[in-house]
Structure 1
Amino acid sequence: MVDLLVFLGLLALFAAFLIVKLLRRGTSRTENADGLLIEQARRDQAHVDRMSYNSSTLHNIPYPWGDSPRG
């Protein structure tokens, strides 16, 4: 029983440590120009991916491109 309490205490201590570490890290944005350009490129690519691979795009096509039985 003592072993279980020690284990749960260590687990809770570890969880508290991770919470504090993540909260202290902050959510500051990138300050230099290279980082901002990388962020913009990733946002643009994510937007293109969301528009290209959404449900209506994928499920309303009768055949995948190039696999049409009509040639």
Structure 2
Amino acid sequence: MNRTPVSSSNLRSVGYDSATNTLEIEFHGGRVYQYFNVPESVYNGLMNAASHGKYHHRRIKDKFPYERIR
């Protein structure tokens, strides 16, 4: 999945697959997680948030099923 770099102290890059509603986030340090069944509106909210890390913590983390892929 192609990811877009983001300016964040916690997140390095973010990608989204609208066909499968899969959100992929790379964190500083190299960990990559995929979050499943994420509406596109949540992805758009993350990309437009003033703080990507805070948005992730409040709206995504522990709200959607996920898997660490790296």
The question of a shared fold, defined as TM-score above 0.5 by the shorter chain, is answered with no
> Larger radius of gyration, structure 1 or 2?
1
Per the normalisation by structure 1, the TM-score is 0.19
Higher strand share: 2
Per the normalisation by structure 2, the TM-score is 0.19
Higher helix share: 1
Select the structure with the greater relative contact order (CA < 8 A; seq sep ≥ 6).
Answer: 2
